[in-house]
Structure 1
Amino acid sequence: MKIFGPLYERTLGWARHRNAPTLLTILSFAEAVIFPVPPEVMLAPMCLSRPRRGFWFATLSLVGSLLGAVVGYLLGHFAYELVKPLFEALGWIGKIEHQVAMLREIAAQSPWKVFWLLVIAGFTPIPLKFFTWASGIVGVPLLPFLASMFIGRGKRVFLVALAIRIGGARAEAALRRYIEPIGWAAMLLLVGALGWLIWHTQQGA
């Protein structure tokens, strides 16, 4: 089943728009709150078309993601019960409640485990909204939460910008060609990390 490839193709048109930097920031913000499209699929072609501004585009994406992470966190913390029926209708409730239960269990053992889990989550192509909402519901401390988002998401967007700056069209073509296996490999990495954290937590209980 292909997921990441079609999303990449869909956002190529957005990357060519004259207001692409604004759209990238909005996309990054929305992805951390409710939207399922990862911002890198727009960031990569933008960096290719204007490589000298690649790191600026990455900065805009990171700022949008951090602002969206704060909104998702606050919504999860203060408005979860109000929007719970909407999440049930969208089919997201199971994933969110799974993240909530996992974060609560890990947070009870060690705040640092939660921090590194969120760093890994920010680096993977899994939509950030599941983690921002879950963090707010659980009540993960806000400053460590933002630090984890900054590190995890910052690595993603700046590595994309750097790869395009060094590799040019060849790097973008490789991203387009391998976006599907890269996406699934990142998801498997996250699942493995989650499994290890849960196992380690249970061993220490």
Structure 2
Amino acid sequence: MLEQITQLFMHYGIWGLFGMAFLDSFISPIPPFFMQIAMSLLDPASALRYATVAFTASILGAPIGYMLGKWLGKPLLRKLLPDKWTTLATEQFAKNGDAAVLIGAFTPIPFKVFTVLSGVFNYSLTKLMFFAIIGRGLKFFLIGTLFHFYGKHAKILLDEYLEVTILGIGALVAIAWVIWKKRRKRYS
């Protein structure tokens, strides 16, 4: 079924990629990452354009995920979980939400998880957008840049080194985050 949905989006080319990336920010079960790779493999010269389209659509969809979390997620959460758990989760997201959104926007974890949870836990929409721009930009433009410079050979690089690269960049982002937080506390 997922393959059929992907094929449907692929039929519409760049607009299909836009739609898939947009919907990934709040509802779609299929990440646009795979479609971006497939399209970049077919036309490596347009890889940076595909990255730009996927990035833009993903960022435009983020506020919708946020609002869905705010409007629908909170009442649902209150019905499913005790107040003390909801309060604890809200506090933890307030404390660690920056890192969660930044790292989550880059990793293969569905982006909608972070946009919706941001709304549910009253995380700042401005911060969500800021960290989404950084994380999603890294993710989509890393793939676009690889295909732009290495063409079809980028697929081989991705197959062999994608997991290690994502973990490495995720670790670097996490380390940079910790350093930034410590410096911020020092100067506060």
The TM-score by the shorter chain falls in which range? 0.7 to 0.9
Q: 1:116 aligns with which of 82, 99, 102?
A: 99
Q: Does 2:61 match 1:74? A: no
Could you list the runs of 5+ residues in structure 1 that have no partner in the other structure?
1-6, 198-205
Q: 2:47 aligns with which of 37, 54, 61?
A: 54
Letter in 2 for 1:20: G
The size of the alignment, in residue pairs, is: 174
C-alpha separation in 2, matches of 1:99 and 1:157 = 33
Q: 2:23 aligns with which of 13, 30, 37?
A: 30
Q: Does 2:33 match 1:40? A: yes
Q: Does 2:149 match 1:163? A: no
Post-superposition shift, 1:82?
A: 6.1
User: Which residue is equivalent to 1:150?
Assistant: 133
Counterparts in 2 of 1:14 and 1:167: CA distance versus 1, 3 Å:
farther
Post-superposition shift, 1:53?
A: 2.1
1:2-48 deviation digits (Å, cap 9, x = unpaired): xxxxx7x777745753x211111111111111222221111012122
Identity %: 28
**Other structure's SS at 2:110 match:** coil
What TM-score, normalized to structure 1?
Answer: 0.68
Counterparts in 2 of 1:159 and 1:77: CA distance versus 1, 3 Å:
same
Q: Tell whether the 8 Å contact from 1:14 to 1:42 is kept in structure 2 after alignment.
A: no
Post-superposition shift, 1:117?
A: 2.5
User: Which residue is equivalent to 2:122?
Assistant: 139
C-alpha separation in 2, matches of 1:42 and 1:29 = 13
1:137-170 deviation digits (Å, cap 9, x = unpaired): 1111111110111110110000000011112111
Could you list the runs of 5+ residues in structure 2 that have no partner in the other structure?
179-188
User: Which residue is equivalent to 2:92?
Assistant: 105
Q: Tell whether the 8 Å contact from 2:17 to 2:32 is kept in structure 1 after alignment.
A: yes
Q: Tell whether the 8 Å contact from 2:40 to 2:50 is kept in structure 1 after alignment.
A: yes
Letter in 2 for 1:104: E
Counterparts in 2 of 1:165 and 1:75: CA distance versus 1, 3 Å:
same
Q: 1:182 aligns with which of 163, 177, 181?
A: 163
What TM-score, normalized to structure 2?
Answer: 0.73
Letter in 2 for 1:182: E
C-alpha separation in 1, matches of 2:146 and 2:86 = 31
Counterparts in 2 of 1:83 and 1:138: CA distance versus 1, 3 Å:
closer
C-alpha separation in 2, matches of 1:161 and 1:127 = 19
User: Which residue is equivalent to 1:20?
Assistant: 13
**Other structure's SS at 2:118 match:** helix
Query: Relative contact order, CA 8 A, sep 6+: which one is greater?
Result: 1
Q: Tell whether the 8 Å contact from 1:15 to 1:45 is kept in structure 2 after alignment.
A: no
